[in-house]
Amino acid sequence: MITTLRNRLDQLIWGDLLEQRGLWGRFAANVLRYLYALLRDMFAGQLMMRSMSLVYTTLLSVVPLIAFSFSVLKGFGVHNELEPLLFKALEPLGQQGAEITRQVINLVDNVKGGVLGGISLAFFIYTAVSMVQKVEESFNYVWHVSKRRNFARRLTEYMVVMLIGPVVMVIALSMIASLGSNTIVQFFQTIAWLEPVFRMTSKLTPYLLVTGVFTFLYMYMPNTGVRFRSALIGGIAGGFIWASISVIFASFVVYSTRTLLIYSGFAVAITTLIWLYLNWLVLLVGAQLAFYHQNPAFLKIGRREPRLSNAMREKLALNIMFLVGRAFRDASKTITVQSLARSLKIPSITLTPIVAGLEDVGLLTSTEDEALVPGREMTRIRLQDILAVVREHGETGSYRDPKWAKEIKALGSRLDTAVSTTVGDRTLADLLDESDAVSA
C-alpha cells in the first residue's frame, strides 16, 4: 500500500497530469516539485547537521565578529548602531533577547578594552574567519562544489565581508531611519490613503533587509557562478520563511514561560541555541532553493551524483582537454571547472573526479586563480594518455590482479588495441589543429 501511494505521488509530482491542466496546473506542479525536493533534502539530515555545526561555530565566533564589527564601525563613527542591530536580530527571543544583547555587548566592551593577549587575539581572529569559512563550505555543499577557494582568495574575500558587511548594514538602517524622519515623508504620512502604505513599508523593512542579505550571500559565498535571479528567488523565500518562523518562535517563547522555568538558568541558552539553529537552517534551505532554480535537473535526483557510462567519461576527458587546450591558445581566455560545467551543461561535481585524474597524471594543472591549463606541451599530450586516465587510472584494486578467463583476457587486449589504433599517435595539438583548419 505504501509503495502504491509513493508511486501515485511520484506520478502526480513528476508526471504531466498537472501540467495538462493549464497555467495553474503547471504552477502547482512546479511548487510541488520544489517543495518535495526541499523536504527530501531536509529529512536526509545533511542540512540539519550543517545547521547544528554552524550553531556551534556561531557560539565561538559571535563575540569576535561583533568586536571586529565594532572596531570597523567605530572608525566610521557609527558604532552605537551595533547594539540596536543585534537586539533586532534577537527580538523573537523577547526579554531573553535583550539580556543576551546586553551580555554580548559587555563582552565586546571587554575585548575593545585591550584585555586580550597575543594568543587570545589570534584565537579571536581564527574563530571570526572560521565562521565565514564554515558558511562557505555549507554553501559549496548545497551547490555541489567540491573545490574551495584557494587560501589567498579566501582570506581576501573573508576580510572584505567582515569589513564591508557591518558598514553596509548600518548605513542601510540609518538611511531607512532618516527617511522615516524626513519632512516630505512625514507630510505624505498625513494623507489618509497613503498612511497605511508607509506603515506597511516600515513593517516590511526588516524582512526586505533580510532578503537582501540572503540574496547577497547566495551570490557571493558559493565558489561557483550564481545567477542573480536564482539568488533573489532563494533570498525572497528565505526572507519569507525567516519572517514566519520569527513570529511563530516569538509566540512560542511568550506562551512557554512555565515550561522554560523548568530549565531555570539554562532557559536563555536553550532558546538561543534553538533560534540560532532555525536561522541557519532557513539560510541553507533558501540556498538549496536557489540551487534548484538554477539547476532544475537536480530536483528529482537530489544529492545522487549522475551516473556516467565509461563511454561518457572518455568523451568528457577528451572534451575537457580539448576546451582547456583551445583556451590556452587564446591569450584572452581562461577556463575553470565552473566554466567547463557551464559549457558542457554538466554539474561541476561530475567533472571534478575526471579533472582530478587528469591533474594526477600531469595532463592538467591549476593556476593560483583556479584556471586550468595543460600540464605540459600539448604536442606531448597523446590522446591515448587522456583516455588512459578514465580507462586505467583511479582503481582501488586488490592486492593481486584478478584471474581473468583466457577468452576475456584476449578480448580485452583486442579492445585496447582497437582503441590504440583508432587514436594512433595523435596528440592534443593535432586535434586542435584539425579543429582550427575546419573552422577556417
Query: What CATH number does residue 358 fall under?
Result: 1.10.10.10
Tell me how far apart the 2 most distant CA atoms of the chain are, in Å: 94
In this prediction, residue 111 carries a pLDDT of 54
What pLDDT was estimated at residue 217?
86
CB within 8 Å of 33: residues ≥ 6 apart: 13, 14, 299, 300
Q: Rounded to whole angstroms, how far apart are CA atoms 82 and 170?
A: 8
Based on the domain organization, do 358 and 371 belong to the same domain?
yes
Same domain as 61, residue 37: no
Same domain, 86 and 193: yes
Q: Which residues contact 143 (CB under 8 A, 6 or more apart)?
A: 222, 223, 224, 226, 287, 291
pLDDT at 236: 92
Looking at the structure, tell me whether residues 252 and 322 fall in a common domain.
no
For residue 77, the 8-state DSSP code is: T
- Among 239, 269, 301, the domain-final residue is 301
Instruction: Determine the pLDDT at residue 286.
Output: 93
User: Is 315 in the same domain as 385?
Assistant: yes
pLDDT for 117: 45
Output helix, strand, coil percentages for the chain, rounded to the nearest 5.
80, 0, 20
DSSP assignment of 51-73: HHHHHHHHHHHHHHHHHHHHHHH
Residue at grid coordinates 557591518: 166
For 45, residues 6+ apart whose C-beta sits below 8 A from its C-beta are none
- Residues facing residue 321 across a β-bridge: none
Does 171 share its domain with 219? yes
- Which domain does 30 fall in, by range? 2-43
Q: How far apart are CA 303 and CA 21, in angstroms?
A: 30
Residue that finishes a domain, picked among 272, 301, 330:
301
CB-based burial of residue 358 (10 Å sphere; 0-12 exposed, 13-18 middle, 19+ buried)? buried
Do residues 35 and 132 both lie within one domain? no
Cell of 231: 539568488
Residue 239 backbone phi and psi in degrees, to 5: -65, -40
Query: Mind listing the pLDDT tens digit of every residue in the chain (440 residues)?
Result: 677 777 777 777 777 777 777 788 888 888 888 888 888 888 888 888 898 888 888 777 776 666 666 666 655 555 556 666 666 666 666 666 676 667 666 666 655 545 444 555 566 667 767 777 888 888 888 888 777 776 666 666 666 666 666 656 555 555 555 555 555 555 555 565 555 655 665 566 667 778 888 898 898 888 888 889 999 999 999 888 888 887 787 777 666 665 556 665 566 677 778 888 888 899 999 999 999 998 887 887 777 666 778 888 889 999 999 999 999 988 888 888 878 887 887 777 778 888 888 998 889 998 877 789 999 999 999 998 898 888 877 665 555 567 788 888 888 888 888 888 888 888 999 888 888 887 76
Same domain, 121 and 257: yes
> Residue 320: what pLDDT?
92
How far is 271 from 254, CA to CA, in rounded Å?
12
3-class SS of residue 394 = coil
Whether 104 and 240 map to the same domain: the answer is: yes
Number of domains composing the chain: 3
Question: Would you say 265 and 117 are in contact if contact means Cβ atoms under 8 Å apart?
Answer: no
Q: Are 196 and 56 part of one and the same domain?
A: yes
**Whether 260 and 392 share a structural domain:** no
Whether the Cβ atoms of residue 406 and residue 369 lie closer than 8 Å to each other: no
Query: Alpha-carbon torsion 94, 99, 105, 111, what sign?
Result: negative
* Residue 327 amino acid letter: A
DSSP character for 305? P
Given this model, what pLDDT does residue 309 score? 80
Whether 297 and 337 share a structural domain:
no
Q: Can you give the pLDDT at residue 60?
A: 75
Task: Confirm whether pTM is higher than 0.85.
Answer: no
- For residues 365 and 359, give the distance between their C-alpha atoms in angstroms, rounded to a whole number: 6
Contact (CB, 8 A) for 135 and 217? yes
Q: What is the DSSP string of 324-372?
A: HHHHHHSTT----HHHHHHHHTS-HHHHHHHHHHHHHTTSEEE-TT--E
